Amino acid sequence: MTQPAQYHGNCHCGAFKFNLKTPKLTEVYACNCSICSKKGYLRTMPAKDEDLVVLNGDETATLSTYECGKRTSAHKFCPTCGTAVMGRMNSGETPIGINLRVLSDVDLDSLPVLTSDAANLEPLYQVPEPLETGVVPEGITPYHGSCHCGAIRYTLLNPQKIAKATECNCSICSRNAPLWIYPLTTTVRFDGIDNLTEYTFATNSVYHGFCKICGVAIRERFVEDSDIGLNLRTMNGLDLSGLEIERVDGKAMSSPFE
């Protein structure tokens, strides 16, 4: 029998910290459903309540909850930093799925990813209505995006088709799993921006914005830049599998994260 291992995890701001006892991780699970795709979850399934030891915070009081579809599971995220921590099934003997991106002592790149196909399960996800673009100039491609619940929507008028994205391994991006592009701020129009929570840390030069209702990471706002970071996971209908991914070692460029 495989001996259990203990892993430490936390949201980025540290409001919720825990230890997870589970058999040594040899693989991770991904899902292509609408919410898992937008959040970029990598999970271990399943876990029992006794496998999770909370060290700081409280699952109910500290974390926000979002439910969708058939409401068979509750997606838990930190309302301060936006980190997606876990999902709790509303029934069953093994109720917890931990987002492995929040674990501090796991090399996820070294583990095979098993993907489950849940994108076409009923009820099908209803994509939020896109924002009106008006007359689009010749040579401009419109892209429509949103958080999962639709409280925040946006339209990007891009001068070229999107073919590349940036993936960063810094402490916040490794947890939130965004795929970034950096268009000019003036090319993006938002609706529902009052539903955006912003989180900043370290030098306070970048504000990471996520939906306060569903927790999906939407954008990066830079204090001294005319560009904006948009998370391509939030673009509805965009085929992420066809993108060229540039990996940036943000971890090496920042102060050590504790």
pLDDT in the model for residue 181: 98
> Percentages helix, strand, coil for the chain, rounded to the nearest 5?
15, 40, 45
| CATH value at residue 84 | 2.170.150.70
- 42 and 90 both lie in a single domain: yes
Number of domains present in the structure of the chain: 2
Whether the predicted model's global pTM rises above the 0.85 cut: yes
Per DSSP, what are the bridge partners of residue 47?
A: 96
Considering the domain boundaries, does residue 127 fall inside one? no
- 30 and 103 both lie in a single domain: yes
Question: Which segments in the chain show pLDDT lower than 50?
Answer: 1
- 82 and 170 both lie in a single domain: no
- 95 and 181 both lie in a single domain: no
Domain boundary among 116, 149, 164: 116
Per DSSP, what are the bridge partners of residue 86?
A: 76, 98
pLDDT in the model for residue 251: 85
Considering the domain boundaries, does residue 126 fall inside one? no
Considering the domain boundaries, does residue 124 fall inside one? no
Considering the domain boundaries, does residue 258 fall inside one? no
- 99 and 64 both lie in a single domain: yes
Judged on CB neighbours under 10 Å (0-12, 13-18, 19+), 13 is middle
Considering the domain boundaries, does residue 63 fall inside one? yes
- 167 and 249 both lie in a single domain: yes
- 249 and 146 both lie in a single domain: yes
Considering the domain boundaries, does residue 163 fall inside one? yes
pLDDT in the model for residue 257: 56
Per DSSP, what are the bridge partners of residue 180?
A: 166, 231
Who's near 241: CB < 8 A, 6+ residues apart? none
Domain boundary among 116, 131, 154: 116
List the end-to-end C-alpha distance of the chain, in Å, as a whole number: 34
- 154 and 100 both lie in a single domain: no
pLDDT in the model for residue 49: 85
Q: What is the extent of the structural domain holding 199?
A: 141-253
DSSP state of 70: T
Domain boundary among 83, 116, 149: 116
Q: What are 166's two structure tokens?
A: 């940036």
Helices (H), 22-150: 34-39, 59-62
Q: Which tens digits make up the pLDDT trace of 204-219?
A: 999 999 999 999 999 9
- 111 and 207 both lie in a single domain: no
Integer Cα distance of 217 and 147 in angstroms: 8
Who's near 183: CB < 8 A, 6+ residues apart? 156, 158, 227, 228, 230
Amino acid in the structure at residue 59: E
pLDDT in the model for residue 86: 94
Q: What angle do CA 103, 145, 229 make, to 5 degrees?
A: 60
- 151 and 240 both lie in a single domain: yes
Give the chain's count of helices (H) and strands (E): 4, 20
Amino acid in the structure at residue 199: Y
